[in-house]
Structure 1
Amino acid sequence: MLEMAKIVVQQTQEEIPVMYNPTELSLNKTVVLLGQGSNIQFQRVDDDDLTVSLFFDTYEQQTDVRAKTNKIVALTQPTVGNAERREPPVVVFTWAGPLFVGMISKLDQKFTMFLSSGVPVRAELSVTFKSVLTKEEDQRAQGKFNCRQLWRVKENDRLYLIAQQALGDASQWRLIAEGNNIYDPLNFPGRHDIGRMLVIIDVHDETYNNGGGNA
């Protein structure tokens, strides 16, 4: 049995089926890098926008095709949120499983056939989805679950200052001390610590948070 693609509204689970499956899809990712030459720094991985061409035809039924296409057009309206901030709903484009999660950022609609009364019965839609991530997915895109930082110790460094700059939380200095076997944190850095490379424990690391061990 042929499985049809559909757009699912994430909040309400409303399903909007397409009439004809797309003939092709491109799901691309962009690695965001800063710097040049030997000084390249990874920033994050982004999902590129997904653009899908959809075709609707109600000529045989002699009915207005907008009854079907308006359900997709409605997804461009800011209907989710509160009185201070409203935005279009987050949707999932699914075809044999979820393929892309995002908001519709652009919709081009072209009517190509009409009844003698002027009612449109054939439409071509070009729908562009912009990726929307959960907080955890955004952290993964930034590599926070995979990367650890390195810190070269300077004379005026203190563990709480390193924690504040590297992790954004001065209270995490104990993690740095434990992860680098610093047994006398009050007197850190000693003379032998200057120039030492510390491994900064990633506080987003699931393995660490689940008791998987230190660096």
Structure 2
Amino acid sequence: MLEKAKIIVQPTAETIPVMYNPTELSLNKSVVVQGEGSNIQFQRVNDDDLVVNLFFDTYDSKTDVRRYTDKIAALTQPTVGTGVRKEPPTVVFAWAGALFTGLIVRLEQKFTLFLESGVPVRAELGVTFKSVLTTQQDLAARGYYNCRQFWTVAENDRLYLVAHKTLGDASLWRLIADANNIYDPLNFPTPADIGKTLVIIDVHGESYSPPARV
């Protein structure tokens, strides 16, 4: 049986199947750098926007095709959040597994066939998704997990502040403590620690699993 592509709405996991699978997909990445010549500095890796063309046809059943397309159009509306600030939901475009996670930032709808009553029965949708990353995915895209760093301890340093400044995540303080044999992290730094160099270890690799957020 042919697997259908689908759009999965977060956090409800509502699934919106497409009627016909797209004929092609481009999943591109861009490396962001600064500088010129021999002074180029890496900044981050970005997932480029995903643009998907979807086709819907209800001519055989003589029903309104908008019963399908309106579900996708609704994903551009700010409905997620509390209070006065809301935003469109994050969605996953999945086809044989999750391919892209992001917001729908552009929707082009073209209705190309109508019944005599004027009801549209055929539509083409151009859907543009902009990538949305988790905190850990964003850190990985900026290369935080790919390089060993060093930190000289100052008087007012705390391990969670060092973790935030070097790894971008204060919750990784225990990783720094373990790597530098700091047995009493609550009393760090002691006078003997001032001026020491901490090794901020490379947390990239299959052996490392970032701690779950609570």
Class of the TM-score when normalised by the shorter of the 2 chains? 0.7 to 0.9
Deviation for aligned residue 1:39? 1.4
Deviations 1:54-100 (A, max 9, x none): 00000111011001100000000001001132100111100011100
Q: Which residue of 2 aligns with 1:29?
A: 29
Give unpaired runs (5+ residues) of structure 1.
152-157, 190-197, 211-215
Q: Say whether 1:75 aligns with 2:69.
A: no
Partner SS, residue 107 of structure 1? strand
Is the 1:148–1:199 contact (alpha carbons within 8 Å) kept by the matching residues of 2? Answer: no
How do 1:5-154 and structure 2 match up within 5 A? 5-149=5-149
Deviations 1:105-150 (A, max 9, x none): 0000000000111111000000000001111111111111111236
Residue 209 to residue 4, structure 1, CA distance change in 2 (3 Å)? closer
Partner SS, residue 71 of structure 1? helix
Separation in 2, partners of 1:122, 1:89: 26
- One-letter amino acid of the structure 1 residue matched with residue 41 of structure 2: Q
Separation in 2, partners of 1:139, 1:114: 49
**Largest Rg, 1 or 2:** 1
Deviation for aligned residue 1:168? 2.7
Residue 77 to residue 39, structure 1, CA distance change in 2 (3 Å)? same
Partner SS, residue 81 of structure 1? coil
TM-score where L is the length of structure 1: 0.76
Separation in 2, partners of 1:162, 1:208: 29
Deviation for aligned residue 1:43? 1.0
Separation in 2, partners of 1:136, 1:167: 13
Deviation for aligned residue 1:160? 1.6
Residue 36 to residue 167, structure 1, CA distance change in 2 (3 Å)? farther
* Aligned residue pairs, count: 190
Residue 187 to residue 129, structure 1, CA distance change in 2 (3 Å)? closer
Q: Which residue of 2 aligns with 1:192?
A: none
Residue 114 to residue 167, structure 1, CA distance change in 2 (3 Å)? closer
Q: Say whether 1:168 aligns with 2:162.
A: no
Deviation for aligned residue 1:178? 3.9
Separation in 1, partners of 2:208, 2:15: 39
Give unpaired runs (5+ residues) of structure 2.
182-190
- One-letter amino acid of the structure 2 residue matched with residue 68 of structure 1: Y
What RMSD in Å do the two structures reach over aligned CA positions? Answer: 3.2
- One-letter amino acid of the structure 1 residue matched with residue 153 of structure 2: L
Deviations 1:148-188 (A, max 9, x none): 2367xxxxxx632897789638x98x86x949xxxx95674
Residue 162 to residue 142, structure 1, CA distance change in 2 (3 Å)? farther
